[in-house]
Amino acid sequence: MMPEALDSESLYVFVFGPGFGESIAVRIPPDRWMVIDSCRVGGNAAALHVLKKYDEHHCECLVLTHRHQDHYPGFADLIDHGDWNTIGCNDLSLDHEFISARDLEARLKGELEQVIASIDTRWEKNSEAQWWTWRTDDLRPVGGATARILHPERSFAYDYDGSDNNELSCAVYLTWEGTRLLFGADVPNPHWETIHNEVADVSDHHFLKVPHHGSEEAIHRTFMKGERERIWVVTPYNRGRKLPRFDDDGAIHRMFDYVDTLYLTGLPIAHDLQNDSPLNRTRRDVLSLLSSPKTTFELPGELRGTVEPIRLDVSCYVVARFDNTGTPTIVCCGPGTVRMTENSHSPGTMTELSEKR
Amino acid sequence: MKEPVNAAQFASFVMGTPLGTRSQISGENRVKRQMFLRELQTQLSAAGIAPILVTPPTRSLDTGCAALLQIGIGLHKAGLINGEFATIEEPSVSWDNKFHLIKQRVDAQSNQVALLYDEPDAWRLPEGDFARDAAYNNRHTTDIAEWIKSEAPCRRVETISRWSSDSGDEFHTSGWPEQLLQVDFGPFSFVAADLKQCLPGWSRATLSDQRLLVALAVITSTEEIISRQDSRLENEPLAGRLLTAIANDSRWSQFMVVLRTLSIVRESLFPELIGLLFKRSTSFGSDPQITYTAFKLLEFVLLTRKDSLIFLHPQLQTSVLYELNTQRDASIVAHSLAFDAYSERIFPGQTWWGDTYLPYRLFDFEFWQSKPVSRSQSEFEAFYHAANCGEALSRDPVRPRVRHYFPDQLLIRAQALSDQSKQIEAASVFREVASLDDKNDFAHHYWALNLDRAAGDKRVVEHEYLRAIELNPTHPWRWSRSINFLITVGRLAEAREQWQRALTMLPFRGSNDVQWICEGLHLVVARLLLHRAQLEFASKVLAGVPDVVRKEDKKFRALERLLKALTIARDERGVFPAEIDPDQYWTRSHLDFPVTHEGLPLIQWNPARIDSVNEQTVCLIVAKHDDVTKSTTYGRVELSLERFQAASPGQATSELSAGRLLELAFYGEEGLLQIRMHPDIPYSDPDLPPMDPPNPRRYLENEGVAP
């Protein structure tokens, strides 16, 4: 479970990924907060659970990386929670199509209107809070840390036809003393080469929120090469394509060429252990689990499928702590999360393992 | 004294009553009663007192003000108010001060004044949302109606309908004043002569009946009248026969337009009106001979003249109005024509329709086609009232302008501008009212609302909404629009706080107004929240609606349906269209599968949604329901495209796309699969209330944020 109190000299990263959506809360010593994106857990914005738990009101920086539905639910509530010094966003446009959509999930996109209105009003009220998250040479102070936007370039965003919002997704590089954190958002991999060559050595990080749910289209050697002890967290996507893929040709397998351990905030399908403590599994264990799920769904005519996740409010979160040299510690992982290795490892809970580090 | 009287007799009676006496007299229709009051006014003037006729436009926002103004003008003309009339004219003087002045002058001169008025109980806006919304203004009408009825210390004469329950000293009119009626039928004298000779009942008919008979004979034939000797020769059936005859003969269709237009004028007609109507009539292409005959029919048979006053035959007017109330288009045409004629009367020869008096030039045929008849009537009443308050019009020949003595008069203009979606102009007029009368919550609220709809200055919008709440914290609309403004501009936390304050201030529990409050507050707020997918907040709002309202009101049921459907969809569990009531989800198949297929019985059906499609497979999210545990399980099932198509003959592959909703049906033990898809049409629920204001993206669009 989450710690009752936070060490004022350490930086904490809370990554939520309940299967659909992701949100990251960063506590920068001694008491400043940055939140990137939002998703709902138990009906509320996931990051709000953290902000309220630690009774924090030093809301420093809030960033919406892009306008996809798995990144903004509850974002308006986050804006309202605190008097944010900075609110970052690079695209305030709205979709045309959802107003009369018969597909009710499309109608839920009305929330984007709420989010955009909230950002617009806050920017209007306090121009200092306005942060167009384009790639520039500027470093934005966030408490005692500095944030730099790695992508997109403004000219690229202006010229882009808007067919895929991931292209405009905003990657953030946060530096606090000797600690470097890379939040990859959903930036597709063709851009990482440019980022690496022109902006920053993205392999130089202690923490990575793996871009785009660990899809093949997002991972890139530029940020993967480096120390094996880095903390990488993957937020799964349990709809449509179901990301990440765990087979031998998949991105997860490739990631193990660079790190020993991956942390997943959940799995992209239902599994009967998701309500329990965090799992320790190898990639092949997970692959086996996914290919032959115990929870089958049967219909007449010999139609079979898999049961969809039962609980959607599973507390799928990973909490990592860093000292001022970037030394990481996994503090805790919520039920439904998976600590994954390529090869078998000794049994034990993740907390036990993290304590051993 | 309950026998019929004429105006002269009644004037003698009134002069003999003590000061403060209220005398009532009944009459069968409004036109007759008003004519009687005019006759009485003449008689009382001759007796040496100032009879003031109080005939304001009824059920209007400015009814009370118009009544007060008529008394003020009456006193002014009689030299009983002297220079103080300027106080009445000054718009910035409060209602209370003006009312106090009028009461004071009538008190002081009570022996020289008589107030003549018709049915003050009918002056107030009827109960309903609009009346409640304009309660502050309705209060003025109540003030003066109650004072006239109960307190005014002068002589008072009140005309009432026969069915009035308010009985005082009862009299009733002696019928149509015979001396006013035409006895010379002009070019139709030969028709009257024929009828007199051939129609046995002619000599027993009143002159009023005889006029209708002559008109009927002109339009049909004398033979037609004579052949139906069994018909009743009385006003009402005769007027009905005349209208039917006109309606049945297409050559007379424009004459009907003329009669309708004349019938909506409450007081004396004026020659320009009749002239204009016939000018229009010929331009419509009517037969010139018919037009000429119709004109002469009016002149010699169907109009009554007395000095400078001209009235349409009262029974005919009553019958036409009765029919007009059910004929939207005809009513709009009639009001439009009357409007033009009155405009010409106020500003003769003016061809320029600039912004000077444009605010009253609101009568737009296309626009009013979409409005109830009553709205076009009230709009005309407002204009009519302005036109008839001659003193209310400035006489600047270059820039004639309608003047206002009361802020309430401006409200009508503002309301009409708002109805025409001219929000900025409407907000400007409401602002003017609020600046003249800062206590007017209606003006503050609609200033804010119109500015809000136009995505105007947010600070002004917020300030005026709050001012309206401060003035009238028990009105649900004052709160709901303010809350919706906060939601719209992305201030959710403040919206929640405002919501809590509203619940505290509104007399909700145990109130008779629960339905009204829920419709004005909960319904309005929940609708916007659902659009913005703020499901937790919406759920909280709807949970506050009492069962008695929630279950009875289909709008609330539609909101609950949408809330449940969206909640399910958010959990990626949406397999039913939103139109289907969640309580009905599992009661039956919603795509009407036959109970047998190829001789096999239907054994099971499941709702589903297409999750993804590719060239080989269709991936479905399928739901199963356990009737015992009432639980639903969702599964992901892949079907080959081939099998899907075999199970859904006639369904084009190109129509398969993620999000489409469908049902699976299984037949026989083998589970033969059939698939039907819900039509791919935009979501609409006719019971879902519209958003208020309607466009929640307005500020974003105005600022260039939204496309």
Three-state secondary structure string covering chain A: CCCCCCCCCCEEEEEECCCCCCEEEEEECCCEEEEECCCEECCEEHHHHHHHHCCCCCEEEEECCCCCCCCCCCHHHHHHHCCCCEEEECCCCCCCCCCCCCCHHHHCCHHHHHHHHHHHHHHHHCHHHEEECCCCCCCEEECCEEEEEEECCHHHHHHCCCCCHHHHCCEEEEEECCEEEEECCCCCCHHHHHHHHHCCCCCCCCEEECHHHHCCCCCCHHHHCCCCCCEEEECCECCCCCECCCCCCCHHHHHCCCCCEEEECCCCCCCCCCCCCCEEEEHHHHHHHHHCCCCEEEECCCEEEEECCCCCCCCCEEEEEECCCCCEEEEEECCCCEEEECCCCCCCCHHHHHHHC
- Sort B270 into a burial class: Cβ within 10 Å, 0-12 / 13-18 / 19+: middle
Sign of CA dihedral B592, B598, B599, B603: negative
Interface with A, mutate which of B570, B631, B655 (most A CBs under 10 A): B570
What is the least distance, in Å, from the CA of B447 to any CA of chain A?
Answer: 22
For B:524-543, CB contacts with A below 8 A are 530-536
Mean pLDDT of B454-466: 97
- Which residue of A103, A113, A307 is in closest CB contact with B633? A307
What is the least distance, in Å, from the CA of B470 to any CA of chain A?
Answer: 25
Contact in structure between B360 and B353 (CB atoms under 8 Å): no
Contact B664 A306 (CB under 8 A): no
Instruction: With a cut of 60, say whether residue B199 has pLDDT above it.
Output: yes
Give which of A329, A69, A356, A74 is closest to A207, Cα–Cα: A329
Interface with B, mutate which of A98, A299, A314 (most B CBs under 10 A): A299
Q: B487 contacts in A (CB within 8 Å)?
A: 114
Contact A109 B533 (CB under 8 A): yes
What is the least distance, in Å, from the CA of B602 to any CA of chain A?
Answer: 11
Tokens in use for A353? 């393992």
Q: What one-letter code names the amino acid at A102?
A: R
The predicted structure's pLDDT at residue B261? 87
Q: B492 contacts in A (CB within 8 Å)?
A: 76-77, 80, 114, 118
Lowest-pLDDT range of B100-109, B363-372, B401-410: B363-372
Contact B637 A303 (CB under 8 A): yes
What is the least distance, in Å, from the CA of B504 to any CA of chain A?
Answer: 23
Contact A102 B566 (CB under 8 A): no
Sign of CA dihedral B66, B70, B75, B81: positive
The predicted structure's pLDDT at residue B129? 67
Give which of A60, A93, A66 is closest to A78, Cα–Cα: A60
Which are the contacts of B662, defined by CB distance < 8 A and separation ≥ 6? B591, B607, B608, B609, B610, B620, B648, B675, B676, B677, B678
Beta bridge partner(s), residue A172: A149, A183
Give which of A176, A216, A175 is closest to A192, Cα–Cα: A216
Contact in structure between B14 and B157 (CB atoms under 8 Å): yes
Q: B666 contacts in A (CB within 8 Å)?
A: 299-301
How far is B233 from B231, CA to CA, in rounded Å? 6
Q: What one-letter code names the amino acid at B519?
A: E
Kindly tell me the number of DSSP H helices and DSSP E strands found in chain B: 31, 14
Q: What is the gyration radius of the CA atoms in chain A, in angstroms?
A: 19
Q: A307 contacts in B (CB within 8 Å)?
A: 633-636
How far is B195 from B211, CA to CA, in rounded Å? 11
Contact B637 A304 (CB under 8 A): yes
The predicted structure's pLDDT at residue B75? 92
Tokens in use for B579? 């139109």
Instruction: With a cut of 90, say whether residue A159 has pLDDT above it.
Output: no
The model's confidence at residue B631, banded by pLDDT at 50, 70 and 90, is confident
Give which of B442, B538, B441, B443 is closest to B487, Cα–Cα: B538
Name which residue leads in pLDDT, B654 or B673. Answer: B673
Q: What one-letter code names the amino acid at A281?
A: R
- Which residue of A119, A239, A297 is in closest CB contact with B635? A297
Closest residue in A to B679 (Cα–Cα): A102
What is the least distance, in Å, from the CA of A108 to any CA of chain B?
Answer: 5
The predicted structure's pLDDT at residue B89? 77
Instruction: With a cut of 60, say whether residue A210 has pLDDT above it.
Output: yes
Instruction: With a cut of 80, say whether residue A64 has pLDDT above it.
Output: yes
Contact B603 A111 (CB under 8 A): no
Name which residue leads in pLDDT, B637 or B377. Answer: B637
- For helices B328-346 and B373-388, what crossing angle results, to 10°? 20
Mean pLDDT of B211-220: 94
Q: How far is CA B225 from CA A115, B212, B241, B246, B345, in A?
A: 76, 11, 10, 14, 39
Instruction: With a cut of 80, say whether residue B699 has pLDDT above it.
Output: yes
The predicted structure's pLDDT at residue B204? 82
C-alpha neighbours within 13 Å on the C-beta side of residue B495: 29
Q: A239 contacts in B (CB within 8 Å)?
A: 572, 611
Tokens in use for B92? 């910035």
B285 in the Ramachandran plot: left (φ > 0), alpha (ψ -120 to 50) or beta?
left
Instruction: With a cut of 80, say whether residue B141 has pLDDT above it.
Output: yes
Instruction: With a cut of 90, say whether residue B704 has pLDDT above it.
Output: no
Residue B237 preceded by cis peptide, ω within 30? no
Tokens 């993290």 locate to: A354
Contact in structure between B659 and A105 (CB atoms under 8 Å): yes
Name which residue leads in pLDDT, B332 or A325. Answer: A325
Interface with B, mutate which of A94, A97, A102, A311 (most B CBs under 10 A): A102
Contact in structure between B64 and B143 (CB atoms under 8 Å): yes
Q: What is the mean pLDDT of chain A?
A: 87
What is the least distance, in Å, from the CA of A317 to any CA of chain B?
Answer: 18
The predicted structure's pLDDT at residue B676? 95
Q: B489 contacts in A (CB within 8 Å)?
A: 117, 120-121
- For helices B253-263 and B271-283, what crossing angle results, to 10°? 150
Name which residue leads in pLDDT, B386 or B504. Answer: B504
B606 touches chain A (CB under 8 A): yes
Tokens 């998701």 locate to: A274
Contact in structure between B59 and B378 (CB atoms under 8 Å): yes
Q: What is the mean pLDDT of chain B?
A: 82
Mean pLDDT of B221-248: 85
Return the number of CB contacts < 8 Å for A and B.
171
Highest mean pLDDT among A250-264, B270-284, B357-371: A250-264
Mean pLDDT of A33-48: 92
Tokens in use for B157? 């004469």
The model's confidence at residue B372, banded by pLDDT at 50, 70 and 90, is very low
Percent of chain B with pLDDT over 90: 40
The model's confidence at residue B602, banded by pLDDT at 50, 70 and 90, is very high
Q: What is this model's ipTM?
A: 0.89
Closest residue in A to B603 (Cα–Cα): A300
- Which residue of A108, A117, A300 is in closest CB contact with B489? A117
Contact in structure between B140 and B120 (CB atoms under 8 Å): no
- Sort B427 into a burial class: Cβ within 10 Å, 0-12 / 13-18 / 19+: buried
How far is A90 from A154, CA to CA, in rounded Å? 9
> Could you report the per-residue pLDDT of A113-150, keeping only the tens digit for each?
999 999 999 999 999 999 999 998 889 999 999 999 99
Sign of CA dihedral B164, B168, B170, B171: negative
Instruction: With a cut of 60, say whether residue B374 has pLDDT above it.
Output: no
Percent of chain A with pLDDT over 70: 87
The model's confidence at residue B288, banded by pLDDT at 50, 70 and 90, is confident
Instruction: With a cut of 90, say whether residue A353 has pLDDT above it.
Output: no
Lowest-pLDDT range of B117-121, B386-390, B673-677: B386-390
The model's confidence at residue A101, banded by pLDDT at 50, 70 and 90, is low
Mean pLDDT of B466-476: 95
> Could you report the per-residue pLDDT of B543-595, keeping only the tens digit for each?
999 988 888 899 999 999 889 888 888 877 789 887 788 888 999 999 999 99
Mean pLDDT of B377-395: 44
Tokens in use for A114? 């709420």
The predicted structure's pLDDT at residue B276? 77
Mean pLDDT of B34-42: 83
How far is A98 from A103, CA to CA, in rounded Å? 8
Beta bridge partner(s), residue B398: none
Contact A297 B633 (CB under 8 A): yes
Tokens in use for A163? 């067919």
Mean pLDDT of B679-697: 87
Which are the contacts of B389, defined by CB distance < 8 A and separation ≥ 6? B66, B69, B73
The predicted structure's pLDDT at residue A108? 81
Q: What values do phi and psi take at B274, rounded to 5?
A: -65, -40
Beta bridge partner(s), residue B116: B53, B157
3-state secondary structure of B553: coil
Q: How far apart are the first and last CA of chain B?
A: 75
The predicted structure's pLDDT at residue B267? 64
Residue B693 preceded by cis peptide, ω within 30? yes
Pairing verdict, β A32-36 and A171-176: unpaired
Give which of B54, B60, B29, B55 is closest to B380, Cα–Cα: B60
Interface with A, mutate which of B459, B492, B529, B590 (most A CBs under 10 A): B492
Contact B681 A104 (CB under 8 A): no
Q: A241 contacts in B (CB within 8 Å)?
A: 612
3-state secondary structure of B355: coil
Give which of B213, B362, B207, B333 is closest to B262, Cα–Cα: B333
Tokens in use for A348? 């034990």
Contact B670 A301 (CB under 8 A): yes
Q: How far is CA B82 from CA B20, B72, B74, B403, in A?
A: 23, 10, 11, 21
DSSP B491-519: -HHHHHHHHHHHHHHS--TT-TTHHHHII
Residue ranges of alpha helices (H) inside B207-270 are: 207-219, 222-227, 235-248, 253-263
Q: What is the pTM of this model?
A: 0.79
- How many other CB atoms are there within 10 angstroms of residue B672's CB atom? 17
What is the least distance, in Å, from the CA of B508 to any CA of chain A?
Answer: 28
Q: How far is CA B217 from CA A24, B286, B317, in A?
A: 90, 20, 19
Lowest-pLDDT range of A223-237, B13-27, B211-225: B13-27
Contact A308 B621 (CB under 8 A): yes
Q: A104 contacts in B (CB within 8 Å)?
A: 565-566, 568-569, 574, 578, 683
Q: How far apart are the first and last CA of chain A?
A: 18
The torsion of the CA quartet A224, A227, A229, A233, rounded to 10 degrees, works out to -20
Contact B572 A20 (CB under 8 A): yes
Highest mean pLDDT among B221-235, B262-276, B667-681: B667-681
Contact A300 B534 (CB under 8 A): no
Give which of A52, A56, A3, A46 is closest to A23, Cα–Cα: A46
Q: B568 contacts in A (CB within 8 Å)?
A: 104
